[in-house]
Structure 1
Amino acid sequence: MQITIDENYLLRQLAALLQIDSPTGYTDEVVLYCAEELKRLGLSPELTRRGAIRAVRQGSRRAGARAIVAHVDTLGAQVKAIKENGRLELVPIGHWSARFAEGARVTIYGTGGIHRGTILPLKASGHTFNDEVDTLPVGWGYVEVRIDAITRSAEETMKLGIEVGDIVAIDTGTEFLENGFINSRHLDDKAGVAIALAAIEALERAGASTPVDTHWLFTIAEEVGVGASSIVTSETASMLTIDNGTTAPGQNSSEFGATIAMADQTGPFDFHLTRKLVELCCENQIPYQKDVFRYYRSDSASALEAGHDIRTALVTFGVDASHGYERIHKHALTSVARLVAAFAVSPVKIRRDANEMSGPEGFTHLPIRDVNE
């Protein structure tokens, strides 16, 4: 069954999601937005205590359910200290370089009020520091937030209602170009969330049936390694993660088509589930490539590390300059959405996966060399 993705809907959702600040630990508003959109699409979202979302789209069978997951949280920062000059020292939320923080416009969600500011290197004025501007090391200890308020001391900053631990959200600087390129921070993983919503919209519009229940999951702490650790249910047999790929020298990811990850720093993804994704791309004429990521983990890793015995795979949209000044092309977003929808409606091949434990009958085989040859 061919499922048609509404590209305009996908891009509208991405634009809306990028307008909502959601660094890890500050995700309530984006969770509520996603929950409302899921309800509008006809699903009944459930939220964990902290806000991870599960929305089940019923299929022909409950046991052996499939999960499809993306994360709503993004990179960001927190106030580490209020400096004597009234400016703010930061620590990052998630793993990203201060090199890409320099010059960023930010929102400081202070305990007593919301303020705007800019992340600057400690030596920011060429007229004052001359060549020292270029020799300052890169690191979070070498940048500070200049607050757009009258403050020249730690005492004045604290009177603004800013305290240690307050969240600092990084502006996206989003730009959608007519040629299909999208430049923005936080495409990881707002684009993945938009892809999931677009796949759901397409399935609902087509009235598509699925062989098993599909659990659409939206996690809130992937950037700090927690991810899907507590949102996967016991009836889930397989999980497909949607996240960014790394388009960079030495990588095979692309800003076009779907990039299927074969392994990340935690090891290979499930052989059979990954091969299924490749077959679906071939059957549905979805352009694809494969890649291996050395310095990368996703919701799949957190689910397995939490003890969930499920098959996992990762499909990505190639992002140039991931965790920095990110760029993607809409072709990749639509390609991944097509693959996600095709996966949701595809037949179940490994039927024994419906049981958590069973005998060896029906267990999978791998291609091996015949030692008798």
Structure 2
Amino acid sequence: MYQFNEERTTGLLKRLVETPSPSGFTEKVMKVISNEFEDIGVPYKKTNKGAIIATVKGKDDSRHRLLTAHTDTLGAMVKEIKSNGRLKLAMIGGFNWNAVEGEYCHIHTASGKEVRGTILMHQTTVHVYRNAGTAERNADNIEVRIDEKVKNAAETKALGIEVGDFVSFDPRFEVTPSGFIKSRHLDDKASTALLVDLVRSVKENVIELPHTTHFYISNNEEIGYGGNSNVPAETVEYIAVDMGAIGDGQTSDEYTVSICAKDSSGPYHYALTRHLTGLCEKGSIPFKLDIYPYYGSDASAAIRAGFDVKHALFGPGIESSHALERTHVDSLKATALLLHSYITSEMMD
């Protein structure tokens, strides 16, 4: 009988979210993943784009399954070094500037040096700027205040900071006594932690899977092309394990596994989605079916790339996506149970 290992999963999740990995700057977090797979003893390969695909052979090696989660996150790059020594930013991924206003950050220089800073509005000081509260939160007004003695662009450049340097946001990871997990970047490091622990459980318990299954940890999903290549030709079913979006008009919550029927790319494969809901009903796994209006996944990216696969999407419900995110261990558990139920089930005809 499968048992969700809450402590091990949340411990790995903490390590993942505390390893900076905005899209395009993911080598360190992918090293964490490769170390995990080496410790588990599962074979894996690294793609040219830096993704990692671990494979567990099953009884049927002619029809494969693939499950993916992504480690890349939102972030920014240095767009301009201002005359006062502060930095203008360019977004990586889709978020609103107000979601990162006031956040501490790291500037990752080309030399490997990390410089601390804070993301602020230029017009933050209420004693000086009458429009401090009403000025538009945009790329022109948002800047990074560097935690070094700099007064001009030359002094900032002397620190090794240049245009194109990556900027990562502090995650502020916390597990509350009531079981809530609060952190930036739960999208999609929560699902990544679940997939890695699923592989560990399969190997520890010597579980023979009915079908060869690939575990694809991608690293470019936030910019649209994470899992759209290197899909083995034998793959029949492709599952994106990614967050459920919570808000007005949504059924998803922080306590169940969210199964997506449709997102901005269109409907997911009907029969495969029904297979997932059937597994939940049979196993008494709490779930919610939902539609995400402004959302895309690695599975939809693979479909757009032309792969002939049945695709579906499910994952933990994440509150306040692309901002100060939160979920509950109940949602992680429900997702873990569905993951295990799915990979040990027989493939649809």
User: What's the TM-score once normalised by structure 2's chain length?
Assistant: 0.98
- Where does structure 1 lack aligned partners over 5 or more consecutive residues? 351-373
Partner of 2:252: 253
In the other structure, the counterpart of 2:209 is 210
Equivalent residue for 1:120?
A: 120
- Structure-to-structure mapping, 1:121-136, within 5 angstroms: 121-129=121-129, 131-136=130-135
1:194 corresponds in structure 2 to: 193
Mapped to 2, the partners of 1:229 and 1:50 lie a distance apart of 11
Residues 39-118 of structure 1 mapped to structure 2, 5 A cutoff: 39-112=38-111, 113-118=113-118
How far residue 326 of structure 1 moved from its aligned partner, in angstroms, is 0.6
- Residue aligned with 1:144, SS: strand
Residue 33 (structure 2) pairs with residue 34 (structure 1): yes
Residue identity over aligned pairs, in percent, reads 36
Post-superposition shift, 1:148? 0.6
Secondary structure of 1:10's aligned partner: helix
The answer (yes or no) to whether the contact 1:6–1:202 under 8 Å persists in 2 is: no
Is 1:282 the counterpart of 2:281? The answer is yes
- Could you list the structure 1 runs, at least 4 aligned residues long, displaced by more than 3 angstroms after superposition: none
Q: 1:71-121: per-residue Cα shift (whole Å, max 9, x none)? A: 010000000011011000001100011011100100000124320000000
Which residue identity is paired with 2:343? A
Secondary structure in 1 aligned to 2:42? coil
Question: Could you tell me how far 1:349 is from its partner in structure 2?
Answer: 2.3
Give the distance between the partners of 2:3 and 2:275, measured in 1 at CA: 20
Deviation at 1:301, TM superposition (A): 1.2
How do 1:143-162 and structure 2 match up within 5 A? 143-162=142-161
Matching of residues 331-342 of structure 1 within 5 Å: 331-342=330-341
CA distance in 1, matches of 2:38, 2:285: 29
1:134 alignment partner, SS class:
coil
- Which residue of structure 1 lines up, in the alignment, with residue 180 of structure 2? 181
Q: Which amino acid aligns with 2:255?
A: F
The question of 1:14 aligning with 2:13 is answered yes
Measure the CA separation in 1 of the matches of 2:239 and 2:89.
Answer: 34
TM-superposed CA distance for 1:140, in Å, is 2.1
When normalised by structure 1's length, the TM-score is: 0.92
Are 1:87 and 1:147, in contact at CA under 8 Å, matched by a contact in 2?
yes
1:15 positional shift: 1.0
Q: Which amino acid aligns with 1:345?
A: T
Displacement of 1:64 in angstroms is: 1.3
Pairwise CA distance, 1:61? 1.9
State the Cα distance separating 1:337 from its structure 2 match.
1.0
Unaligned stretches of 5+ residues in structure 2: none
Taking the aligned partners of 2:63 and 2:152, their CA distance within structure 1 comes to 59
User: Residue 344 of structure 2 corresponds to which residue in structure 1?
Assistant: 345
Residues 267-290 of structure 1 show CA distances to partners (whole Å, capped at 9, x for unaligned) of 000011100000110111100010
Deviations 1:116-174 (CA, angstroms, capped at 9, x unpaired) = 00000010111211x41111112222200001111111111111111101000110011
The residue type equivalent to 2:243 in the other structure is: N
Q: How far apart are residue 203 of structure 1 and its match?
A: 1.9
Q: Which amino acid aligns with 2:192?
A: V
Matched residue, 1:167: 166
Question: Distance in 2 between the 1:293 and 1:50 partners?
Answer: 27
| Cα shift readout 1:37-77 (whole Å, capped 9, x = no counterpart) | 01211201210123101100010122210001000100000
Aligned to 2:230: 231
| Counterpart contact for 1:200–1:341, Cα < 8 Å | no
Give the 3-state SS of the residue equivalent to 2:243 in structure 1. Answer: strand
Instruction: Verify the 8 A CA contact 1:3 1:206 in the aligned structure 2.
Output: no
Is contact 1:3–1:203 with CA below 8 Å preserved after alignment? Answer: no
Query: How far apart, CA to CA, are the structure 2 residues paired with 1:122 and 1:208?
Result: 56
Q: CA deviation at 1:231?
A: 2.7
* Matches of 1:231 and 1:118, distance apart in 2: 38
Instruction: Return the offset for 1:206.
Output: 2.4
8 Å contact kept, 1:5–1:202: no
Deviation string 1:255-308 (CA, Å, 9 cap, x unpaired) is 011110000000000011100000110111100010001100011111111111
Q: State how far apart, in whole Å, the 2-side matches of 1:10 and 1:258 are.
A: 16
CA distance in 2, matches of 1:63, 1:263: 29
Q: In structure 2, what residue type is equivalent to 1:348?
A: M
Would the aligned equivalents of 1:83 and 1:154 in 2 still touch at CA under 8 Å? Answer: yes
Q: Are 1:263 and 2:270 counterparts?
A: no
Query: Which has the greater radius of gyration?
Result: 1
Q: Indicate the SS of the match to 1:31.
A: helix
Q: Which residue of 2 aligns with 1:367?
A: none
Give the CA deviation at 1:19: 1.4
Moved more, 311-320 or 109-118: 109-118
| Cα separation, 1, equivalents of 2:88 and 2:263 | 33
Measured in 1, the distance between the counterparts of 2:187 and 2:4 equals: 20
User: What SS is found at the alignment partner of 1:211?
Assistant: strand
